Amino acid sequence: MKVIICDNYEQIAKEVAKMVSDQINEKPDSVLGMATGTTPAGVYKELAKMYENGKLNMSEVKTFNLDEYYPMAADDEHSYHSFMNKHLFSKVNIRPENIHMLDGKCKNPKVECDNYEKKISECGGIDLQFLGFGQNGHIGFNNPDVSLEGDTHLTKLTQKALDVHYAHFENPEDAPTHALTMGLGTIMRSKKIVIMASGALKHRIVRRILKRNIRTDVPATILHIHPDVTLVCDRAAYEGVRIGVDLGGTEMKIGVVDDNFQILKKVTAPTPQGADADAVATQIAEKCLELMNDYNVGSIGIGTPGLIRNSKVSAVNLNFDNYDLAGAVKEKTGVTTYIANDANCAALAEAAAGAGRDVKNSVVLTLGTGVGGGIIFDGKIYEGKGSGGELGHFPIVYGGKKCGCGLEGCFEKYASTTALMEMATDAAIKNPDSLLAQKYAENQNKLNGLLFFEAVRENCPVANTTLDEYTDYLSAGINGLIYIFDPEKVIISGGISGAGDALLSPLKEKIKFDVPIVIAEHKNNAGLIGASLLH
């Protein structure tokens, strides 16, 4: 089997359309086997474009479609007849008499199917059959079963197929219960076959097809014994999905992430407390194995708190002491596992799939309880020996406030949300008549970012002065970071970034450089998505 791996779906469509047009150029009266579904739709679009540009002539081409619902009138909007007319036949110069489709309203399905087979052989057989397949490995309506039928036949839709197809019908009672479909023998008699797969959800079947075992519970695996099959798939279908693990002190979030950075499934689990390090690895591995029942996973990435050296992690609150967490998870799951600092993972998500996706060099600053973040250098996390990019702990005030890290005057002591709230609380207490003080009192002598920025928006002079002081510190750090890294963008994330322009406007005025300062796009899932991107 020849395999062509494309970057994305658009490329698959172009590649397959080119194969079809090559086939037609070589043999203008080619017999094509057609499929329906989202995957071939893009190919038809490309073919229609080619025809419009005078690069395709289908006047001699004959087509046979794989399948049709039963019972189903050809002019029903849900029919595959309607699909083909809409996507291809009405847009190219194919002759109506050369189009062959199974009649979903036929009186005698057996006769209809036998005639279909006869017509195919009368036309000299199918020259090029193109196919999509379902997540259970069906092709046409040849669904998984203990035995599979060879020729065109009437088949009852399986529950899984019904679930998929009912989604297309407003009223499920109108949905057909059966279908007419070419059999696997019909398909295998085609001279050439092109099978397409797009998206991580198809990965499992792609792997199965490539494994060379023929299984009746994955009908598409039969294609392996055909002498001329080309699989055209995108990277997501070929490589599969990745698991990202955002390991926190109390809870871990584990998610399956596809090539478009979408979380397909997410689970959470408590992080074992006070247990040995191996208990954490076991918990991660168990959750991953659960997810691996439904998804074929290419890699696992773990974002962890703590210090990483030579891929081993030390984190006091997790009982990790130079522990090979990635190695332990790999051993338990059998899947390649990577590890990085959690703040760096969140930065990577922002850089690859968020506000920094259009640049290669950025600094992501997470303003929260502390200051975290990461440096993205040439599209990758800058890690130094393992935990580089610890942006909260460079001193910006000589002899300043003592920091938990042992230094004094660290950036996070002045630029974190905690620092801003300390400054604001101080100001509210010192200015009891201010609007800020009023909000502080109304909230049981407690301030939060929301209340503080409310006061800023309502033009409270005390809140404004506090913000001015805070942005002095924040901008000092950012100016320093820009001097050192010369990034194309600075991305602000963390809870306080929700303030948007109320924070950005005064901050930007104090930035010495012409570097865009923007708000992050990801919220709670940044760590998980970033971890999934580790490689």
Q: Contact residues for ligand F6R (CB under 6 A)?
A: 35-39, 66-67, 132-134, 138-140
Task: Give the residue with the Cβ less far from ligand F6R, 295 or 485.
Answer: 295
Q: Give least dist CB 91 to ligand F6R, A.
A: 18
CB nearer to ligand F6R: give 94 or 281: 94
List strands edge to edge, sheet with 320-323.
307-309, 312-315, 320-323
Decide whether 202 or 439 has the Cβ nearer to ligand F6R. Answer: 202
Cβ at position 35, least distance to ligand F6R in Å: 4
User: In whole angstroms, what is the distance from residue 276 CA to residue 509 CA?
Assistant: 49
> Quick one: 58 or 66, whose CB is closer to ligand F6R?
66
For ligand F6R, the closer of residues 136 and 387 by Cβ is 136
253 touches 527 (CB < 8 A): yes
Residue 103, Cα to own-chain centre: how many angstroms?
39
- Taking the complex as a whole, the smallest distance from the CB of residue 421 to ligand F6R amounts, in Å, to 50
C-alpha span between 456 and 365 (Å, rounded):
22
Half-sphere exposure of 517 (CA within 13 A, CB side): 24
d(CA 360, CA 483): 17
- Least separation in angstroms between CB 134 and ligand F6R: 4
CA 65/CA 181 separation, integer angstroms: 9
* Residue closest to ligand F6R, measured at CB: 132
Burial pattern 76-114, b for ≥16 Cβ within 10 A else e, equals bebbbbbbbbebbbebbebeeebbbbbbbebeebeebbe
When the beta carbons of 37 and 305 are compared against ligand F6R, the nearer one is 37
What CA–CA distance (Å, rounded) separates 478 from 374?
Answer: 13
CA 415 to each of CA 103, 170, 483, 494: distance values in angstroms, whole numbers, following the listed order = 70, 54, 18, 12
Residue 234 Cβ vs ligand F6R, minimum distance, rounded to whole Å: 12
Rounded CA-CA distance 411/372 in Å is: 10
Output 153 or 413, the one with its CB closest to ligand F6R.
Answer: 153
485 Cα distance to chain centroid:
30
Whose Cβ is closer to ligand F6R: residue 36's or residue 333's?
36
- Provide CB contacts within 8 A for 358, sequence distance 6+: none
Q: Which is nearer to ligand F6R, 68 or 127 (CB)?
A: 68
Smallest separation, CB 135 to ligand F6R (Å): 8
Return all residues near 53 (Cβ < 8 A) that are at least 6 apart.
none
How far, rounded to the nearest angstrom, does the alpha carbon of residue 283 sit from its chain's CA centroid? Answer: 24
Q: How far is the CB of 348 from ligand F6R (least distance, A)?
A: 30
- List the Cα angle 33/37/38 in 5-degree steps: 125
- At closest approach, how far in Å is the CB of 151 from ligand F6R? 16
* CA atoms of 350 and 381, how far apart (whole Å): 11
Specify the DSSP element, H or E, that contains 237: helix 235-239
Q: For residues 177 and 162, what is the distance between their CA atoms, to the nearest angstrom? A: 7
What letter does residue 387 receive in the DSSP assignment?
T
CB of 41 to ligand F6R, least distance (A): 8
Residue 443 to residue 306: CA distance in whole angstroms: 34
Length of the chain counted residue by residue: 535
What is the closest distance, in whole angstroms, from the C-beta atom of residue 131 to ligand F6R in the complex?
A: 6
- Is residue 159 within 8 A of residue 66, CB to CB? The reply is no
| Contact yes or no for 253/245 (Cβ under 8 A) | yes
Q: Which of residues 216 and 361 has its CB atom nearest to ligand F6R in the complex?
A: 216
Q: Which is nearer to ligand F6R, 38 or 322 (CB)?
A: 38
For the CB of residue 155, give the shortest distance to ligand F6R in the complex, in Å: 12
